[in-house]
Copies of this chain bind each other. A is one copy, B any other.
Amino acid sequence: MEQKIGKEIQLIRFPQGLPDENIFEIVNVNIPEPKEGEFLVRNIWMSVDPYMRGRMRSPEETKSYIDSFQLKKPLEGSCVGQIVESKNDLFKVGEYILGNYGWREYWISNGGDVMKIDSKIAPIQSFLGVLGMTGLTAYVGIVKIGKLNEGKDTVFISAASGAVGSIACQIAKIKGCHVVGCAGTEGKVDWLLDEIKLDYAFNYKTVGEHNLSSELKKACPEGIDLYFDNVGGKQLEAALDNMKSFGRIVLCGMISQYNLTHPLPGPSNLFLAITNRVRMQGFIVRDHYDMLNEFHSSMYKWISEGKIKWKETVIEGLEKAPKAFIGLFKGENFGKMLIKIGSEI
């Protein structure tokens, strides 16, 4: 049989600051035949996510919650593909598979680290976004870490038009809360107001760093019960200025910080966390897979009722994945950033 060749993207060195495309290399590799019990998946979609920047550090540089990517090896990340060859009776050619082997065209599995997905529930790429880790992150953050009080809380969400933020906004709205979001373009703000029906949304860039706190005061005159932080930095500081007593801050991501070569000072008003008895809590979605069933059943229902909308920014071609990844840090995504690697069988 002819040797199958596939492309994969490798990290060839760790970036300093904002990554550029030169740290990535696209490589042709031989694709082995699946052994007995294995099957071969051809990727259709892959996800790029801000958290991946945390894995692009040398193991010595910083302790991170997941291992560093290995140099000269294919990068990893969530992907959806289709089985094209199988020597495993439980996994049949044509079935759709969710795995963690993005950044490449083909991969082999024995079925132990994958999930079959049902294309009748929603478009298959949704399992990388609203129905995947992205959606679960929003759900866990709002419901479990943030302990949202249904029908009562005033909620602020930064990066509100992003993949996680936009779902978090809608969960909080479905649960009857007053929801305020911010984003970095007028188009995103309009979408938050017109489509997602947020109670208030603003463009943090035009408002300006020094006015974030007063803008939030305008948006939440009584204060914020729950801040879902995807950004860190000045937005966290402004939220701290406006927290209600016994408010909660869910620390989900700090995209403003990931590419800093020198750490920026943190919020100068942390003392307000004492005076207002604020709880700030960091979390990582993989600690909360026990909520996957609850999340799926809620989300399937909301989607079937038309209550959840989502945006995708789709980039065509595996070779564009590095550019798409870098674009995350420039706000080039609107909702979930996805790479379309190939077509279905």
Query: Which of under 10, 10 to 19, 20 to 34, or 35 or more describes the interface residues of A?
Result: 35 or more
The prevalent SS among residues of A at the interface is loop
A254 lies within 8 A of chain B by Cβ: yes
Tell me how many chains of this kind the complex includes: 2
CB A209 to nearest CB in B, in angstroms, measures 14
A194 lies within 8 A of chain B by Cβ: no
A245 contacts across to B, CB distance below 8 A = 65
The CA of A321 and the CA of B283, in the complex, are separated in Å by 46
CB A169 to nearest CB in B, in angstroms, measures 20
CB A167 to nearest CB in B, in angstroms, measures 18
CB A114 to nearest CB in B, in angstroms, measures 26
The CA of A24 and the CA of B93, in the complex, are separated in Å by 84
Name the one of B252, B264, B274, B277 contacting A268, with C-beta atoms under 8 angstroms.
B264
Of residues 263 through 313 on chain A, the ones whose CB sits less than 8 Å from some CB of chain B are: 263-271, 273-284, 287
- The answer to whether A276 and B270 touch across the interface, beta carbons within 8 angstroms, is no
Chain A 245-270 against B: per-residue CB contact (8 Å), 1 yes, 0 no?
10000011110010000011111111
Closest B residue to A279 using CB positions = B281
The CA of A215 and the CA of B211, in the complex, are separated in Å by 39
A274 contacts across to B, CB distance below 8 A = 65, 251-254, 282-284
Name the one of B236, B275, B280 contacting A284, with C-beta atoms under 8 angstroms.
B275
- The answer to whether A276 and B268 touch across the interface, beta carbons within 8 angstroms, is no
A232 contacts across to B, CB distance below 8 A = 270-271
Of residues 178 through 201 on chain A, the ones whose CB sits less than 8 Å from some CB of chain B are: none
Tell me the A residues contacting B by CB distance below 8 Å. Answer: 54, 63-65, 232, 236-237, 245, 251-254, 257, 263-271, 273-284, 287
